[in-house]
Amino acid sequence: MPRLNQKTASVIRSSQETLFSPFDASAFVLFRVLFGALLIIQVFFIFTSEFVNENFVQPYYHFPYTLFDVLHFQRLPPALMHALFLIMGLAAMAITFGFFFKTASAIFFSTFLYAFLFEKSLYNDHYYIILLITFLFIFMKTPRSPRPKSFLSSPALSASIPFWQIFILRAQFIIVYFYAAIAKLDYDWLVRAEPLHRILSKKILFGYQLDHLGIAWFFSYGGIILDLLIVILFFWGRYQRVAFACIIIFNLTNHWLFPDIGIFPFLMMGAIALFLKPSEIKEFLKKINIFPKAPTEPHCLEKSPPGKREAAAGQTCVLYFIVIYLLAQFLIPLRHFVLYPGNPSWSFEGARFSWRLKMNTKIVRYRVLVTNPHTGQTQDFTRPGTLTIRQSWLDNMPDMLLQYVHYLRDELKSIGVHQPIITVEAEASFNGRPFQPYIDSRVNLAEVNYPLFSSADWIVPQDIFRYVSKDAFF
């Protein structure tokens, strides 16, 4: 046992030495600028559209996450809701230029978290990764130029940061690619080339309609191979530029195929900066006259300057933080294997926060039926015109459908209809299959609470083999 403890202590010491060694800051600074610019674009889109009014001010119903209620958050008045996004935009600008970096990151994270938790129907993977990156930024330091106009200047790019900052950001993006590949190891993706076959069949490239199944298989298997191999190619210097070119092509293709995923493809392309050699970054900036005095010699890990190392206790805390954070990021996408049996793309249980990017096309037909237990009268309450476009997708997300049922239950109670019986008749077509039952119409959902750590028994399991159309394999 003492020998094991000795080895463990040796590994910890070695990890600390590596993670806290000074690392050239140029990759981090470039990523910070690119990421901040994307945040500005995101907030600018929100301000120049009716996004805030349509999703946060006008809706009668909202679908918050459980954590929103646990933290006792309240709905803000319209003026304060607009001010929230204005503050978010100012914080994004500060992140980009490196001003009050930690404070700006904390402000952006907290305001964005409020909006994120407030409306579940807006969930998107790029919103999730924005939260993760800004959360990590809170604990990081960044060099900045003394002159606002030259935020990619020599002083900023020649400084150093602890290596753990680059390490944890790289690990985060590697996890995204890894689980995106794992999610694609799916019957429909591998055998039927779905949902890409249906998506591509509606696309036209150079006057040619991409409806051939072979094209869908090329994209399907190409996506898996790229997601799996890209991590290896990132660190294989000989093929690193090939990897970067593949990432750019892959993400531009995703933007073309799925325009609704917002800045996500550009964020994934921006993450390339984290894997570039400092000398390559400076040489590139030198060529385009952004950094005219760029040194060409590479310098990554350097000896620690006297008095600059962080205290040992602080290093230990950071080490624990890194382990806990990455362990959580690794385990959360696996929860559906343990807690929620079946296909998460069908039930949507365990699908969020798991990097299951565009894994299905699902069409749901449903009716919400309310029965007055005193009179026996049944009325159809399906979509009474009070839901936004995004909220109307609740039929694809059973947990939101249950929230809607509970809203109806509480409103009916407020007008004197106690213990209403609310059932849902629903059937779904998954990736082009014939419709099959989706929600158990015998269950009174008004009396059901959504289980956090087990599968909802009122969601009918998918039967992928019974409900396969004749052309499923062709």
Tell me what pLDDT residue 465 has: 66
Closest CA to 137 of 193, 194, 99, 185: 99
pLDDT number for residue 3: 53
What's this model's pTM, rounded to 2 decimal places? 0.87
Provide the pLDDT for residue 313. Answer: 64
Task: Give the pLDDT of residue 290.
Answer: 54
pLDDT tops 90 at residue 385: no
> Of 271 and 389, which is predicted with more confidence?
271
Average pLDDT over residues 214-223: 90
User: pLDDT at residue 160 above 80?
Assistant: yes
Would you state the structure tokens that stand for residue 392, as one six-digit string? 């109307």
* Mean pLDDT score, 137-153: 69
What's the whole-number average pLDDT of the chain? 83
Question: For 69-78, 160-169, 284-293, which range has the lowest pLDDT when averaged over its residues?
Answer: 284-293
Q: What is the reported pLDDT for 207? A: 77
CA gap 178, 193 in Å, rounded: 20
Burial of 242 (0-12, 13-18, 19+ CB in 10 A): exposed
Q: What is the DSSP letter of 311?
A: P
Confidence of residue 420 (pLDDT cuts 50, 70, 90): very high
Predicted confidence band of residue 334 (pLDDT cuts 50, 70, 90): very high
All residues at 6 or more sequence positions from 2 whose CB lies less than 8 Å from its CB, including other chains: none
Q: Which residues contact 70 (CB under 8 A, 6 or more apart)?
A: none
Is 194 within 8 Å of 431 (Cβ atoms)? yes
| Whole-number pLDDT of residue 144 | 65
Residue 439 has pLDDT above 90, yes or no: yes
Summarised one tens digit per residue, pLDDT across range 249-272 is: 988 988 888 887 889 999 999 999
Question: Would you give the distance in Å from CA 357 to the centre of its chain?
Answer: 9
Which range is most confident: 95-104, 193-202, 355-364?
95-104
What distance in Å separates the CA atoms of residue 244 and residue 276, rounded to the nearest whole number?
9
Q: 67-102 in b/e burial notation, b at 16+ Cβ within 10 A?
A: ebeeeeeeebeeeebbebbeebbbbbbbbbbbeebe
Place of tokens 């995101």: 42
Exposure of 108 in the CB half-sphere (CA atoms within 13 A): 30
C-alpha to C-alpha distance for 467 and 436, rounded to whole angstroms: 7
Q: What is the pLDDT of residue 473?
A: 34
Among 17-26, 263-272, 312-321, the least confident range: 312-321
Which tokens is 459 given? 């969601």
More confident site: 294 or 203 = 203
pLDDT category of residue 359 using cuts at 50, 70 and 90? confident
Residues 6+ away with beta carbon under 8 Å from 214: none
Residue 287: the pLDDT is 67
Best mean pLDDT range from 227-236, 281-290, 295-304: 227-236
Q: Write phi, then psi, for 96 (nearest 5 degrees).
A: -60, -45
221 pLDDT higher than 80: yes
> Are the beta carbons of 369 and 425 closer than 8 angstroms?
yes
Mean of pLDDT values over 420-442: 93
Sheet containing 421-430: give its strands across. 378-380, 362-371, 421-430, 436-439
CA-to-CA separations, 48 to 82, 265, 391, in angstroms, rounded: 12, 21, 21
* Residue 371 pLDDT exceeds 60: yes
pLDDT at site 239: 73
pLDDT at 248 over 80: yes
Distance CA 139, CA 436 (A): 48
- Which pLDDT score is estimated for 466? 56
Does the structure show a pLDDT above 80 at 77? yes
CA distance 38 to 238: 30
Sequence-separated (6 or more) residues with CB below 8 Å from residue 353: 128, 332, 333
Q: Provide the pLDDT for residue 393.
A: 77
Closest CA to 431 of 192, 225, 213: 192
Would you state the pLDDT for residue 116? 92
**Residue 304 in this model has a pLDDT that exceeds 60:** no
Residue 350, pLDDT > 50, answer yes
Higher pLDDT, 161 or 308: 161
- Using one digit for the tens of pLDDT, what is the confidence trace for 164-190? 999 999 999 999 999 999 999 888 899
pLDDT at 458 over 70: yes
- The helix (run of H) or strand (run of E) holding residue 327 is helix 312-331
**Segment 92-136, tens digit of pLDDT:** 999 999 999 999 999 999 999 999 998 888 898 889 999 999 999
The better pLDDT of the pair 312, 109 is held by 109
| Residue 326 confidence (pLDDT) | 97
Angle at 440 between CA 406 and CA 413, to 5 degrees: 20
pLDDT of amino acid 373: 87
Backbone angles phi, psi at 185, to 5 degrees: -80, 65
72: left (phi over 0), alpha (psi -120 to 50) or beta: left
Instruction: List the single range of 50-59, 203-212, 408-417 with lowest mean pLDDT.
Output: 203-212
